[in-house]
């Protein structure tokens, strides 16, 4: 039973796409040298007008390009190529790239910030933004079930299912849910950035 709050950001688990099986394919997007915000495994990221990615810190609205799965860069202290689960703020590296799952039809697991009743299936939700864990490099973002499960079309996430495991069920204290992008994903925005 999900009885404790242990949010972990977005964990990709599948896709709604009819184009085949889920392969968790990532695309490399550049991170600006010296970008001053840490990005954690499972955080949402957005493409900015400079052509680089940044952490998407939206809550009730967001414009994500996808989910951050790690990065690589040349460490300015050792001059060695470094692969990391998180981007540490302020690293000066001209070859920094984030590995991003940018499929707008991706399905991912997120923990709710409270109990999710089965009646929330198909509703839209906001994101609870929390600083990630610098110890293990993972996101601590959660699904805002306590204040936002609604029909509001502009909310960024939609509940698709409950994570079906023996230790998780509808109405658990902190329900683990399967969600998808609802509104704002850049690949489905005809306006662009």
Domain presence at residue 138 = yes
List phi, psi (to 5°) of 136: -115, -5
The secondary structure of 39-93 as a DSSP string is B-BT-EEEE-TTS-EEE---SSS----EEEEEEEEE-TTT--EEEESSBPTT---
Alpha carbons 32 and 139: distance in angstroms, whole number: 20
Domain presence at residue 3 = no
The secondary structure of 67-81 as a DSSP string is EEEEEEEE-TTT--E
Structure tokens that stand for 127 in this block: 């994101």
Which single residue is written with the structure tokens 């242990």? Answer: 6
Domain presence at residue 94 = no
pLDDT score of 56? 97
Structure tokens that stand for 98 in this block: 């984030």
pLDDT score of 142? 97
pLDDT score of 19? 64
Angle at CA of residue 165, ends 12 and 170, nearest 5°: 95
Structural domain for 115, as ranges: 105-188
Give Cβ neighbours of residue 190 (< 8 Å, ≥ 6 apart): none
Domain count along the chain: 1
State how far Cα 31 lies from the chain centre. 16
For 3, what's the count of Cα atoms within 13 Å in the CB-facing half-sphere? 2
Domain presence at residue 139 = yes
Alpha carbons 121 and 170: distance in angstroms, whole number: 10
pLDDT score of 3? 72
Task: Name the strands in the sheet holding 142-144, side by side, starting at the edge strand that comes first in the sequence.
Answer: 11-15, 106-111, 176-181, 157-162, 124-128, 142-144
Alpha carbons 90 and 168: distance in angstroms, whole number: 38
Domain presence at residue 72 = no
Alpha carbons 45 and 96: distance in angstroms, whole number: 15
Could you list the pLDDT tens digit for every one of the 193 residues in the chain?
467 899 999 999 998 876 667 777 899 999 999 999 999 999 999 999 999 999 999 999 999 999 999 999 999 999 999 999 999 999 999 999 999 999 999 999 999 999 999 999 999 999 999 999 999 999 999 999 988 888 999 999 999 999 999 999 999 999 999 999 998 888 877 777 7
pLDDT score of 2? 66
pLDDT score of 99? 98
């Amino acid at each position: 039973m999900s009885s404790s709050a242990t949010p972990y950001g977005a964990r990709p688990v599948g896709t709604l796409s009819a184009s085949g099986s889920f392969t968790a394919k990532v695309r490399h997007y550049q991170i600006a040298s010296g970008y001053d915000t840490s990005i954690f495994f499972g955080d949402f990221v957005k493409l900015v007008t400079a052509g680089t990615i940044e952490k998407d810190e939206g809550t009730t609205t967001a414009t994500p390009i996808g989910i951050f799965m790690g990065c690589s860069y040349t460490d300015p202290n050792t001059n060695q190529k470094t692969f990391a689960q998180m981007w540490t703020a302020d690293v000066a590296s001209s070859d920094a790239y984030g590995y991003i799952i940018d499929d707008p039809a991706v399905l991912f697991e997120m923990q709710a910030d409270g109990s999710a009743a089965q009646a929330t299936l198909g509703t839209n939700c906001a994101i609870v933004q929390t600083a990630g864990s610098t110890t293990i490099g993972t996101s601590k973002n959660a699904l805002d079930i306590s204040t936002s499960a609604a029909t509001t079309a502009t909310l960024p996430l939609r509940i698709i299912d409950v994570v079906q495991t023996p230790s998780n069920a509808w109405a658990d204290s902190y329900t683990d849910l399967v969600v998808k992008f609802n509104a704002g994903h850049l690949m489905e925005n005809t306006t662009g950035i």
